[in-house]
Structure 1
């Protein structure tokens, strides 16, 4: 097998590894987020315990206990306590207690999951054709939100197609301007960021030599 035929497969494998690395970093960030959330919940629990302690020592709590005692055994409750309960429970001038209005909330529409398409190496025309194919796929089954990562510098001209496009400088441009930082690391970090920002459910690496057609995208379901 010639080097020319092996190189595209090797590059695709590199991108798939980078996608997995990005997903792992996204999972690590999600884990750290859950840890922070657990810490916040612990702090909230401690605050609620302190509120409960203060409530038990308040006059309102003692009044409630006295009211329960009166309901259970009214004959053995002191007249002074009864007068205090009636004074506290008597409606104020202007009407009775206000009952909060019940508001019926409509259930929020479920948001479709996001799929990240890594379309690195596609030229402008190939990228446009791929975006058209993605739109056709969504017309058949609108089951996800596509996010396409591209290195095409003219990607903004394709925003009118309605697919969310994210940009990453191509390897040659990046290495020319930032030789101190590996492009593979940049790709992995960008993928991790996109997975986190869009809460992606699936990552698909697009073969630049053979971009998927509609039937290929339908088979990904």
Structure 2
């Protein structure tokens, strides 16, 4: 006898559709996570670029300040022959020598050369600004020495304050305190000879 039982089709399509929807959701979730990770990376990169931009701006401001300081120093050389007469015997004008970046022996050699120059013609009072930490050993040579910590030492102990700003302030103060009429920035690669100091 033939089988007359009706066979109903198995409802597999909805299950397959559900499975496919799950896969698509999983894929979309993965893509969203990837986009979120990229967004986080972009934000971090933007923050780094902003910090670098700010660092460059601060550096540019310091450079501008140094240019202003150097511009102020240059005119002082031109007025070196001008001494304001006074009723008491006129005070010998001060010359500021900026000796930055030289080791002890080179600073000592420069101070000795400067002392010889004063023996030939004592026409000014020398004030030497140096960043050599051993400057105190040279105090008995008859030249006034002023100390400013070198850049590396300053930045190690006071990273919150620019070394260029400190240099600018120190130069201004020395101008004011000593009434300097001339500033000589000593080239550390070629310190001046006696003949050059006598010019």
Bucket of the pairwise TM-score, normalised by the shorter protein: 0.5 to 0.7
Divergent runs of 4+, >3 A:
13-19, 21-24
Given candidates 98, 107, 117, the residue that maps to 2:97 is 117
- The structure showing larger relative contact order (alpha-carbon pairs under 8 Å, at least 6 residues apart) is 1
The structure with the largest alpha-carbon Rg is: 2
- Matched residue, 1:189: 169
- Matched residue, 1:165: 145
Give the deviation of 1:109 after TM superposition. 1.9
- Matched residue, 2:106: 126
When residues 15 and 215 of structure 1 are mapped into structure 2, their CA distance, relative to the original with a 3 A threshold, is farther
- Matched residue, 1:177: 157
Q: TM-score scaled by structure 2? A: 0.58
Deviations 1:96-151 (A, max 9, x none): xxxxxxxxxxx622110000000001110000000011111111111000000000
Question: What does 1:18-57 correspond to in 2, within 5 Å?
Answer: 19-20=69-70, 23=73
**2:198 is paired with a residue of what secondary structure?**
helix
Give me the whole-angstrom Cα distance separating, in 2, the residues matched to 1:162 and 1:18.
Answer: 32
Verify the 8 A CA contact 1:137 1:218 in the aligned structure 2: yes
Question: What does 1:131-170 correspond to in 2, within 5 Å?
Answer: 131-170=111-150
2:195 aligned with 1:215, yes or no? yes
How many pairs are equivalent?
126
Where does structure 2 lack aligned partners over 5 or more consecutive residues?
1-62, 77-86
Verify the 8 A CA contact 1:22 1:190 in the aligned structure 2: no
**1:189 is paired with a residue of what secondary structure?**
helix
Question: What does 1:75-86 correspond to in 2, within 5 Å?
Answer: none
- Matched residue, 2:182: 202
**1:190 is paired with a residue of what secondary structure?**
helix
